[in-house]
Structure formats: structure tokens, C-alpha cells
């Protein structure tokens, strides 16, 4: 790609006393392909695909097979050109810079026909997922995907401004380290003072500085009086996200004033790796502000193949859905992009902790000097840009590269392995790790994910088994074993990737497909599935516990199959996540103390089958509704072991509460429970998972009117005297496909409106598993969905994301339960 800028005229405007000026080159550019046969206007920021679409030269890139049809776009060379006039006289400025915040990716930059630069790294200031993974399309984009402008200045210019709050344990006080990088173009030293003010902390400090000509760094150390109460930033569900407005004013010689404003948050983060009684290995968990926190959440991928489509509104919608599902963490996965500033600002605001990978994934990277120089610039820039965000709690060097190397994914000969290990250590330890240690002392660093943490370090930076249950984090996928059997899951210290696939809803697929595509075995369905064997794996896993759709109507069968894949995915991830959550406080067979569960993946990049819980555009799959419950701060978890039924209580709360546990048994054939049991009061300790209830299944069945496994289902919930209530959870005593007495449920809804919220009053004629409420393409979410309906009536709320009406909802509303496909 080429960037061709032509300066027509430097206008001589009126004299100015400004110390610096900025002239934006955003907006309309001209785009031309390699041989000049195609020329069109295009927006900057933007990319070639978006420009072609906006001019009507291509369809929606996501429609049907257009990821194949439009490969020519990525295979061609493109030139971006702009002719412009600078509205100031260049000769009056000591320094004039052309700033390109983001170029995708390999380009040559010409200014007035003179080559002034080249780029080869889109993660630097001037995507890997653009080339497809098993959940996304291949759209290697080209374009100017971030801001471009001309900056002119005299005396000096502030290039970077960053800061880190640091807690001094010995003095028990907060300090703030501020780092500012200047380009001093004056031939003489520039003196002045800096005033740092944080009004709500009654802090104002003044510093004298003198900047010598050249590139200069100013480091300031701000002490916050220990007599001032500093409110700390907490993750979602654990406290407030308190921040303080700060201004930093540089008053310099020549009447030059430079002011920066920022929000400052105070929090500490520790990665605890220490021996555990009764278990070999080390713990792996995070303390925020000294409090151990179980990390609950998912893995984030780019929200679109085309970054110019990722709006502020979309980011807020997706991240709000994170906290609405009781999550507190996202892992920004190393095969995507470093997200835009607004993403991290929203995470700060919403209390979402971020596990930040550097952008290296599933590959063996070179270590020649040119590549290392590029990586050094990339990593140093991203650390400066991001380290002031309290949401980021850890840096990770890469995604799965330690495991790929040591498990020999790429079939390296044994004799060559030392060479690759040396390259690995050079890149991630001697390069990236050293940059992190030098640039950011406020959060931990690990070389990879998965990794054994401290054990990996002890083994020379690569472990023989990086996926060990006794150290660090694990990635776990198993599509063959029965996902309802909790014994197949690793009782690891921290699960940072796991999951199962499902298809997105029909209303999402309908927008990018045609009628001939609407079957599970269509050419479209096979092409859209990028995970080898994925469609068969979904049906296999679903068939273990559910009857597969048998309708004679092909469209009905397709819709029912989509529904069933979402049921399967939600139930599988529920079972696995609840296993991790109940393992936080126990050691069984020397394994346990699990302190994190981040399923793969949160969001979709296009409309296709994937592991995501949010469809492309943000619609909640059944899994995301389930996450709202299985990530609840207070949760009862039921499971069987050796024909005994157990219920654990799991609490993420900071306090102890007096509670009771209610256990009910229903038959599939009746909306009235056959028995109900309420325990005596007990104290549920905060931050623990403990066994609250156990009973042989045979005794439970006998006690409840001679139930059988096939005829009955168990539900249970926790409640406290002051009104604190857990979600109602359930346990199937047999596979639903073996259920006795389950009959077709007739479910009706009366819709009413209360302000901006809509109320769905449901009524059912029979017990209904996995009740799914759908309003098609109307944007919004329900208060609950995919639930087991054991009562005759239930009220569900609908929160629209855009203005809608009762009439529109009534026309679009459809309800499905498992009984509809049996």
C-alpha cells in the first residue's frame, strides 16, 4: 500500500502566537488500485473494503461467500492520496511532523512525490485476526485505520504523557509517578514549572524543570498525603470504580503553556504464587487492593474485521453486556489487536479487569534485529499508552506459544528445538519482559498463556508441561467427552480458556444468507464453519442428552438445530464454569484452589458458528444469559458424585451472611413441586465455596414420592434474611431425552410497557426446560432467558437498546422450549 500526499500550497495566514498547531487530514481521500483501473473516494480513518462498500462497488463483505469473492481486494495493492493546503506558513515553525496513528500494514509514504517513510507493523504508532481463525473470516484489510494529521510547533512539544499510581506499603501512602516525553526544538534550554493538581485529594504540587534541546523525559513524583482518604478502584461486583480528575500544567519559557487532563485511579494488584497445603505446585490468583478475587469472565476478540465499523456505541453495548452478566474480567487475546483507548476507558469505568496479551499468538516468531527493533517500538509504545489504566491487571507475552513450542505443535525436530527455545527466550524474556519491567512496575508480567508462572521461570522460561494443573493457567477444550460429566475438566489453578461452539440465532444469520442456505448441511453452513469438524461436534455433544430435531419442514429443522446448539453450549459451559467456581476453596486429590474462569469467547467478529456468547452486533446467546447466573456473586452449585447429590455454596461477597438453602423436586408432568426442603440457618462465608448439602440420590428420590431419575428434576436457591437471593439453579437427574412425563408446553405472553422497559407476563401449561424468548432483530436483552419454567407463571423484563414499541415486540415475539422439538 502507498500513501501519497501532495501539498499544493502553504498559505501565508496572519501571524500567530500559538506555540503549536495541529491540522487534521481525516476525511475524504482518493483510493486507487495497483494498475489504476479502479479509483474511488474513501474515508480516513477507514479501509479499502469499507470504501468499496460505501461506493456500491461491493456488497456487504459478510454476505454469504463474499469472504471468498472479495479476496481480490486484499491481493491488490492500493494507494491512498490526498491533495491539501496547509492553513499556516510552514517556515514559521521549527518542527513540522506528519503523524500517522495507525497504518494497516505494509506501506510506503510519499509527500510531494518524495518517500518519507515506510511501515510494517500495524500495532505501532504511525491484525493478525484479519487472516482468519477458526471463528472468523479472512479479510486482510488495508488502509489508514487511525488518525492522521500534521503537527507544527516551536520551542517544544509534548509527545507522550503517562502515569502510574504506586502504593508504598512501608509508608502506607499513595504516590503518583508521572512521565512526560518532550521534543525540545529550541536551541537553548527551556525552563519553567509544572503544577500537578488533584483537587478532590487536596493535592497540588509544583516542580521546577529545565528541558535541554532534543528528546527529553520529565519524571515527576507526586506524594498523596496519608491524611487524605484515597478511595480505591475495585472490579465490578467488589466496590466502586472511584477516579480522580487530575490536571498537569507545564508553564514554560516563551509563554508556552501545555495542559493535560486525566482521570487517576488508585488500586493495587498482586499475582499470588505460593505453596498450597495438601497440593504440589503453587497457587495462581490475583489480589486487588489486598483482597483475593475470583476472576469471572471471557476472552475478547476484535468486534469487527473492519475496525472503522467499531463505534463507541458498539463498544459500550458489548462491555455493558459483560458487567450485566456478572463478569469482572476480559482477556484481550494475543491474536487480535491492542484495543482503542475508549475500550480501556470503558473498562476502567465499568470495573472490568483486563488480562492484556501482547499481540503474538500460535506461531514461531523470528528474532532478527529488524524484527526485534519493531517489537521493541511496539511494546514500548503500548506500555506508555495503556499503563495508566487500572483495569489492566496483567501483561502476558503471548497466546499459547510456550505450549506450541513445548508440545511440538509444529513438528520441530528434537535436535532443532534448542534453537527455537533460544529464540523464544530472546523475544519474550530478554526483549518484551525487560521492556515491561522497565516501563511498568504497577502490575505483573507472565511470558505466555497458558504458562506455569513461577515454575516456567524456574525451568528456564519454558515448562515441560505448560498446561499443568498445579501451576499457572490452563487452556482446555474437549468436544468428545460428555460435557455434563464434571470429572473431565481440569481442577486447575486458573482456567483462562475453555468453551464449546454454537450457531448464532436465525435472525442474525438471515441478514447474510439466502433461503437455499437455511439448512445445517448447506454449502453456506459448511463454509461458515471454520473449526474443523465443528458442526458434527455440536450435534454429537447435543445428541448425548437431547433428541435431535426431526421436523419434516427443513426450515423448522434448521431453526430447531440452531436452538439446540445454543442449549448445548450454554449447558456445557455452565457445567464447566460451576465446576471451577466450586473448586476455589478445596483441594481434592491434590488439585484445586481454582481462582479464575474465563471462557472462550465473548463476542463474534461476523455471523457464523463460534464459541461466542454474544452474537455479531451484540445479541445475547443462551450462554450469555446462563453466564448471568453462573457468574452470580452468590450461587448454589449442584452435582453428583458416586450417586450422591451435593450442593455447594459459592460466594464472591466480602462479608459473611446467615442463609438458608431451599431444595425442591418437581416431576416433569406437574407444575407443583412433589417435595421441598429448607435447611436450618448457616453462615455462608465471603470469598469461599463450601459443601452445604449432600444426600444419596436414591434417598432423595424415595423421600420425594418415589420419583425416578427420569421423571424428576431438582431446583435450589440460597436466601438470606435481609433479602439477598441467589439465582435458582437446577440439576438434571437424567438426560432430558430420557425424561418421563415431559409434555409439550403451551407458553403464552402478555406484553406491557413500563417506561422504557417492557414486561412479559408468561404462562405455561406444563413444565418447560430451556424456555427461549426471542424478538428477532429488535436490539435488546431480557432479564432472563433459556430458563427452566417449573411454575405456571413467570414475569420477565425486556430492556431495549433502541426505541421500539409494544406492537413491534408482539409482532416479532416467538417462544421456544425443549418440548417444541420433542
Spatial separation of the C-alpha atoms in residues 54 and 708, rounded to whole Å: 62
pLDDT of 421 higher than 70 = yes
127 pLDDT tier (thresholds 50, 70, 90): confident
b vs e for 249-262, b when ≥16 Cβ sit within 10 Å of the residue's Cβ?
bbbbeeebebebeb
**Same-domain check for residues 198 and 260:** yes
Choose from 131-145, 416-430, 713-727 the range with maximum mean pLDDT. 416-430
Q: What is the pLDDT of residue 12?
A: 36
pLDDT digits (tens, 9 = 90+) for 373-384: 999 999 999 999
pLDDT digits (tens, 9 = 90+) for 537-589: 999 999 999 999 989 999 999 999 999 999 999 999 999 999 999 999 999 99
Asked if 724 contacts 684 with a C-beta cutoff of 8 angstroms, the reply is: no
pLDDT of 14 higher than 70 = no
Residue with cell 418440548: 819
**Same-domain check for residues 337 and 464:** yes
Average pLDDT score over residue span 656-675: 96
pLDDT of 126 higher than 90 = no
pLDDT digits (tens, 9 = 90+) for 431-458: 999 999 999 999 999 999 999 999 999 9
- CB count within 10 Å of CB 354 equals 23
pLDDT digits (tens, 9 = 90+) for 687-700: 999 999 999 999 99
**Same-domain check for residues 780 and 693:** no
For the entire predicted model, the pTM comes to 0.96
Q: How many alpha carbons lie under 13 Å from residue 434 in its C-beta half-sphere? A: 10
**Same-domain check for residues 768 and 812:** yes
pLDDT of 818 higher than 60 = yes
96, 129, 153 — which closes off a domain?
153
CATH of the domain at 128: 2.60.120.260
pLDDT of 7 higher than 60 = no
Q: Higher model confidence: residue 120 or residue 557?
A: 557
CATH of the domain at 766: 2.60.40.10
CATH of the domain at 357: 3.20.20.80
pLDDT digits (tens, 9 = 90+) for 284-312: 999 999 999 999 999 999 999 999 999 99
Q: Is residue 821 part of a domain?
A: no
Domain total for the chain?
5
User: CA 706, 710, 712, 718 torsion: positive or negative?
Assistant: positive
Q: Is residue 513 part of a domain?
A: no
472, 499, 533 — which closes off a domain?
472
Lowest-pLDDT range of 6-20, 569-583, 613-627: 6-20
Which residues are 498's β-sheet partners? 476
**Same-domain check for residues 337 and 424:** yes
Query: What are the grid coordinates assigned to 90, written together?
Result: 510552514
Average pLDDT score over residue span 792-805: 97
Full domain range(s) for residue 765: 747-816
Gap between the terminal Cα atoms of the chain: 56
Give the β-pairing of 2-10 and 107-111. Answer: parallel
Q: What is the pLDDT of residue 11?
A: 38
Q: Is residue 84 part of a domain?
A: yes
**Same-domain check for residues 431 and 451:** yes
**Same-domain check for residues 203 and 142:** no
Q: Is residue 366 part of a domain?
A: yes
**Same-domain check for residues 445 and 346:** yes
Asked if 774 contacts 505 with a C-beta cutoff of 8 angstroms, the reply is: yes
Give the β-pairing of 474-476 and 445-446. Answer: unpaired
Query: What are the grid coordinates assigned to 544, written together?
Result: 448425548
Spatial separation of the C-alpha atoms in residues 374 and 377, rounded to whole Å: 5
Torsion of CA 461, 467, 472, 478, to 10 degrees: 150
Q: Is residue 302 part of a domain?
A: no
pLDDT digits (tens, 9 = 90+) for 736-768: 999 999 999 999 999 999 999 999 999 999 999
Spatial separation of the C-alpha atoms in residues 78 and 70, rounded to whole Å: 14
**Same-domain check for residues 175 and 76:** no
The percent of residues above 90 in pLDDT, for the chain, comes to 92
Q: Is residue 280 part of a domain?
A: no
Asked if 328 contacts 353 with a C-beta cutoff of 8 angstroms, the reply is: yes
Residues 6+ apart with CB under 8 A from 328: 235, 236, 237, 238, 293, 295, 296, 297, 351, 352, 353
650 pLDDT tier (thresholds 50, 70, 90): very high
- Closest residue by Cα to residue 51 from 81, 22, 23: 81
**Same-domain check for residues 168 and 245:** yes
**Same-domain check for residues 192 and 72:** no
Catalytic residue among 497, 576, 578, 615: 497
Q: What is the pLDDT of residue 652?
A: 97
pLDDT digits (tens, 9 = 90+) for 67-117: 999 999 999 999 999 999 988 898 899 999 999 998 888 899 999 999 999
Distances (CA, A) of 717 to 632, 662, 681: 12, 6, 13
pLDDT digits (tens, 9 = 90+) for 450-480: 999 999 999 999 999 999 999 999 999 999 9
Q: What is the pLDDT of residue 128?
A: 63
Would residue 231 show up in a list of annotated catalytic residues for this protein? no
Q: Is residue 520 part of a domain?
A: no
Q: What is the pLDDT of residue 119?
A: 86
Q: What is the pLDDT of residue 105?
A: 84
Catalytic residue among 273, 400, 578, 615: 400
5 pLDDT tier (thresholds 50, 70, 90): low
Rg over alpha carbons for the chain, rounded to the nearest Å, is: 29
Spatial separation of the C-alpha atoms in residues 633 and 324, rounded to whole Å: 12
Distances (CA, A) of 635 to 729, 762, 786: 8, 25, 18
Average pLDDT score over residue span 352-364: 96
153, 169, 200 — which closes off a domain?
153
pLDDT of 411 higher than 50 = yes
Per-chain mean pLDDT for the chain: 95
Q: What is the pLDDT of residue 6?
A: 61
**Same-domain check for residues 396 and 357:** yes
Q: Is residue 555 part of a domain?
A: no
Would residue 400 show up in a list of annotated catalytic residues for this protein? yes
pLDDT digits (tens, 9 = 90+) for 495-531: 999 999 999 999 999 999 999 999 999 999 999 999 9
Spatial separation of the C-alpha atoms in residues 599 and 595, rounded to whole Å: 13
Amino acid at each position: 500500500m502507498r500513501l501519497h500526499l501532495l501539498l499544493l500550497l502553504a498559505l501565508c495566514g496572519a501571524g500567530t502566537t500559538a506555540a503549536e498547531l495541529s491540522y487534521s487530514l481525516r476525511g475524504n481521500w482518493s483510493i486507487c488500485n495497483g494498475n489504476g483501473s479502479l479509483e474511488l473516494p474513501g474515508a480516513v480513518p477507514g479501509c479499502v473494503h469499507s470504501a468499496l462498500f460505501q461506493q456500491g462497488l461491493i456488497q456487504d463483505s459478510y454476505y454469504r461467500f463474499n469472504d471468498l469473492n472479495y479476496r481480490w481486494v486484499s491481493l491488490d495493492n492500493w494507494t491512498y492520496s490526498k491533495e491539501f493546503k496547509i492553513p499556516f506558513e510552514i517556515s514559521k515553525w521549527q518542527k513540522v511532523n506528519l503523524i500517522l496513528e495507525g497504518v494497516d500494514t505494509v506501506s510506503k509514504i510519499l509527500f510531494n512525490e518524495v518517500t518519507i517513510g515506510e511501515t510494517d507493523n500495524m500495532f505501532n504508532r504511525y491484525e493478525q485476526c484479519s487472516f482468519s481463525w477458526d471463528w472468523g473470516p479472512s479479510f486482510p484489510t488495508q488502509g489508514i485505520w487511525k488518525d492522521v494529521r500534521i503537527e507544527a510547533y516551536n520551542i517544544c512539544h509534548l509527545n507522550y504523557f503517562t502515569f502510574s499510581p504506586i502504593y508504598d506499603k512501608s509508608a502506607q501512602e499513595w504516590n503518583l509517578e508521572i512521565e512526560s516525553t518532550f521534543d525540545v526544538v529550541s536551541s537553548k534550554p527551556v525552563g519553567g514549572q509544572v503544577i500537578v493538581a488533584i483537587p478532590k485529594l487536596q493535592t497540588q504540587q509544583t516542580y521546577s524543570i529545565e528541558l535541554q534541546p532534543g528528546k527529553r523525559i520529565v519524571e515527576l513524583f507526586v506524594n498523596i498525603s496519608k491524611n487524605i482518604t484515597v478511595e480505591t478502584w475495585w472490579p465490578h461486583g467488589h466496590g466502586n470504580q472511584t477516579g480522580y480528575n487530575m490536571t498537569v500544567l507545564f508553564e514554560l519559557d516563551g509563554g508556552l503553556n501545555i495542559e493535560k487532563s486525566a482521570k487517576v485511579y488508585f488500586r493495587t494488584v498482586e499475582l499470588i504464587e505460593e505453596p498450597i497445603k495438601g497440593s504440589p505446585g503453587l497457587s495462581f490468583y490475583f489480589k486487588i487492593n489486598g483482597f483475593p478475587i475470583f476472576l469471572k469472565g471471557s476472552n475478547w476478540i476484535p468486534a469487527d474485521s473492519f475496525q472503522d465499523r467499531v463505534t463507541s456505541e458498539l463498544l459500550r453495548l458489548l462491555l455493558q453486556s459483560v458487567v450485566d452478566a456478572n463478569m469482572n474480567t476480559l482477556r484481550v487475546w494475543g491474536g487480535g489487536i491492542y484495543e482503542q483507548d475508549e475500550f480501556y476507558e470503558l473498562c476502567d469505568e465499568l470495573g472490568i479487569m483486563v488480562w492484556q496479551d501482547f499481540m503474538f499468538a500460535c506461531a514461531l516468531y523470528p528474532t532478527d534485529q529488524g524484527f526485534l527493533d519493531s517489537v521493541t517500538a511496539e511494546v514500548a509504545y503500548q506500555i506508555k499508552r495503556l499503563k495508566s489504566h487500572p483495569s489492566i491487571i496483567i501483561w502476558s507475552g503471548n497466546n499459547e506459544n510456550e505450549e506450541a513450542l513445548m508440545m511440538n505443535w509444529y513438528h520441530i525436530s528434537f535436535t532443532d528445538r534448542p534453537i527455537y527455545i533460544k529464540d523464544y527466550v530472546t523475544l519474550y524474556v530478554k526483549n518484551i519482559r525487560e521492556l515491561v519491567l522497565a516501563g511498568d512496575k504497577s502490575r505483573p508480567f507472565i511470558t505466555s498463556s497458558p504458562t506455569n508462572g513461577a515454575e516456567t521461570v524456574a525451568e528456564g522460561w519454558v515448562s515441560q508441561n505448560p498446561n499443568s494443573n498445579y501451576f499457572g493457567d490452563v487452556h482446555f477444550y474437549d468436544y468428545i467427552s460428555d460435557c455434563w460429566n464434571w470429572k473431565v475438566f481440569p481442577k486447575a489453578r486458573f482456567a483462562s480458556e475453555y468453551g464449546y461452539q454454537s450457531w448464532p440465532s436465525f435472525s442474525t444469520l438471515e441478514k447474510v444468507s439466502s433461503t437455499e442456505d437455511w439448512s445445517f448441511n448447506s454449502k453456506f453452513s459448511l463454509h461458515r464453519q471454520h473449526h474443523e469438524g465443528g458442526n458434527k461436534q455440536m450435534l454429537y455433544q447435543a445428541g448425548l442428552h437431547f433428541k435431535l430435531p426431526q421436523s419434516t419442514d427443513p426450515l423448522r429443522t434448521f431453526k430447531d438445530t440452531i436452538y439446540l446448539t445454543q442449549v448445548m453450549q450454554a449447558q456445557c459451559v455452565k457445567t464447566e464454569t460451576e465446576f471451577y467456581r466450586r473448586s476455589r476453596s478445596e483441594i481434592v486429590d491434590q488439585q484445586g484452589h481454582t481462582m479464575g474462569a474465563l471462557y472462550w469467547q465473548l463476542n463474534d467478529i461476523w455471523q457464523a458458528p463460534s464459541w461466542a456468547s454474544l452474537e455479531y452486533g451484540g445479541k445475547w446467546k443462551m450462554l450469555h444469559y446462563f453466564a448471568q447466573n453462573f457468574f452470580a456473586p452468590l450461587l448454589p452449585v449442584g452435582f453428583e458424585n458416586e450417586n450422591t447429590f451435593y450442593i455447594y455454596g459459592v460466594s464472591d461477597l466480602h462479608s459473611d451472611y446467615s442463609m438458608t438453602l431451599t431444595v425442591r423436586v418437581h416431576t416433569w408432568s406437574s407444575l407443583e413441586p412433589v417435595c421441598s426442603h429448607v435447611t436450618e440457618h448457616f453462615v455462608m462465608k465471603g470469598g469461599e465455596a463450601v459443601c452445604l448439602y449432600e444426600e444419596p440420590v436414591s434417598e432423595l428420590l424415595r423421600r420425594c414420592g418415589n420419583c425416578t431419575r427420569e421423571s424428576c428434576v431438582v431446583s435450589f436457591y440460597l436466601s438470606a434474611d435481609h433479602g439477598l437471593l441467589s439465582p435458582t439453579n437446577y440439576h438434571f437427574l437424567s438426560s432430558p431425552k430420557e425424561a418421563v412425563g415431559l409434555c409439550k408446553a403451551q407458553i403464552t405472553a402478555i406484553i406491557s410497557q413500563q417506561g422504557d422497559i417492557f414486561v412479559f407476563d408468561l404462562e405455561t401449561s406444563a413444565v418447560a426446560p430451556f424456555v427461549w424468548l426471542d424478538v428477532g432483530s429488535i436490539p435488546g436483552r431480557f432479564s432472563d432467558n433459556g430458563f427452566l419454567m417449573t411454575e405456571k407463571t413467570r414475569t420477565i423484563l425486556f430492556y431495549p437498546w433502541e426505541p421500539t414499541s409494544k406492537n413491534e415486540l408482539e409482532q416479532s415475539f416467538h417462544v421456544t422450549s425443549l418440548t417444541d422439538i420433542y
